[in-house]
Structure 1
Amino acid sequence: MRKVMKGRALAGGALALCLPLAAAAQTRVGEVSTTFRLVGPNDKVVVERYDDPRVPNVSCYVSRADTGGLSGWVGLAEDPSRFSIACRATGPVGLPGGLPQTESVFRQSASPLFKALTVTRIVDTEKRVLVYLVTSTKLVDGSPFNSVTAVALGAPPG
């Protein structure tokens, strides 16, 4: 029984160490209040930066709606599926070996009921570009909301 408890404590400690690392991948850059709420915080548009964990020198900026009011304050509000993305090279960008053609790069919950904002990286080898697509897992009229941007890779060797 002690070994099981000790194993669970170690696993919980390891998980606790990983959680701050996951949160560190996202940085809130700023926000703009959009709708006054009498009770609770105002509705706002939030701008967050995500650094691509597998491609050095690529940062993606995502703007998204953040619901305020009482439900937003207590964490029960569902944020609308309205967002935009712009990714930029912050230094030389190369194509790391073993990078898959398509890969989910970031995922963030947008509501307590299974809705998430996801950023996917797609490699366009022909044009030497990394395409970043942001989508919502909540379907609206048969298609998810989405926005796209691209970052050029450095000059080809030769």
Structure 2
Amino acid sequence: MLYKIPVSVLVLIHTADLQVLLLERADKPGFWQSVTGSLEEGESTRNAAIREVKEETGLDAGHYGFADWHMHYVYEIYPHWRHRYEPGVTQNTEHLFGLELPEALPVTLEPREHLRYQWVDWRKAAIRVFSWTNVEALRVLGARHGMQL
């Protein structure tokens, strides 16, 4: 079995007026999140972020305002997902990226990963997402625009 690398990316896709794209997980209905994914062997965080955006939404990050926010979070991997990692691995390092679109665009979901998507105000997104790192990323987005949660 190939194990996942415990390094991942989170890409906060948003518009200038802070509408945020949220995706509902197929393996955990009711769990909403931004684009996320683990690195593949030898892949940079930047390339992983671009790949994950394409795989999960059909969007080409290179056509929009894609940025490395030069931030990361270390978190404990949820117990029900630890079997995906080598035995004994309990923490993951998640690198944060942003992708600003000109407007809330339709996306093409990968049905094995996500059930549906919604564009919501960044503050509502912070209430809906299940991951504390996703909440923190939304807090950073607001702060970059002079707002607070």
- Scaled by the length of structure 2, what TM-score is found? 0.28
Higher Cα Rg: structure 1 or 2? 1
Which structure carries more relative contact order (alpha carbon 8 Å, separation 6+)?
2
Which of the pair is proportionally richer in helix?
Answer: 2
Structure having the larger proportion of residues in strand: 1
